[in-house]
């Protein structure tokens, strides 16, 4: 897998259902962030979870981080049509050679049908 790779690439659900998106990465990280993008617009930050944290909540959002498996999940509960967007994970990754960089995945496109 690539650094910061989301799964699935696309997800279609009915309003009221829960949506789960996953992110896998390869290197050690300082933190992992989730962003949302409505079609063609700027990304909006949702949650930042640090490497020493396991779970974080914000409203209907729940993010988990498993550093042993190098993976994270974003759960949106009781989804609404307005949640339709693309969701990106970004890892603040420790790269070879000691450098650090924020790497974005290619995103999960979520469609919530009314």
Partner 1 sequence: EAQVTQNPRYLITVTGKKLTVTCSQNMNHEYMSWYRQDPGLGLRQIYYSMNVEVTDKGDVPEGYKVSRKEKRNFPLILESPSPNQTSLYFCASSFFRGETQYFGPGTRLLVL
Footprint on this chain of partner 1 (rule: CB under 8 A): 30-31, 33, 35, 40-45, 48, 88, 90, 92, 100-102, 104-107
Residue (40 or 114) nearer to partner 1, CB? 40
Closest CB 30 distance from partner 1, rounded Å? 6
Residue (41 or 69) nearer to partner 1, CB? 41
Residue (33 or 79) nearer to partner 1, CB? 33
> How far apart are the C-alpha atoms of 32 and 34, rounded to whole Å?
7
Residue (79 or 93) nearer to partner 1, CB? 93
Closest CB 17 distance from partner 1, rounded Å? 26
- Short-list 33, 35, 23, 13, CA closest to 84: 13
b/e burial code for range 10-41 (CB count within 10 A of at least 16 → b): ebebeeeeebbbebbbeeebebbbbbbeeeee
Closest CB 51 distance from partner 1, rounded Å? 11
Residue 28 sits at φ, ψ, to 5 deg, of -65, 150
């Amino acid at each position: 897998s690539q650094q910061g790779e989301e799964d699935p690439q696309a997800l279609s659900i009915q309003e009221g259902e829960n949506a789960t998106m996953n992110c896998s990465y390869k290197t050690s990280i300082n933190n992992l962030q989730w962003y949302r993008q409505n079609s063609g617009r700027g990304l909006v930050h949702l949650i930042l979870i640090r490497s020493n944290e396991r779970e974080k909540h914000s409203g209907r959002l729940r993010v988990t981080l498993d550093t042993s498996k190098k993976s994270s999940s974003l759960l949106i509960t009781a989804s609404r049509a307005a949640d339709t967007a693309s969701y990106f994970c970004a890892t603040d990754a420790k790269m070879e050679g000691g450098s650090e960089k924020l790497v974005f995945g290619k995103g999960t496109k979520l469609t919530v049908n009314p």
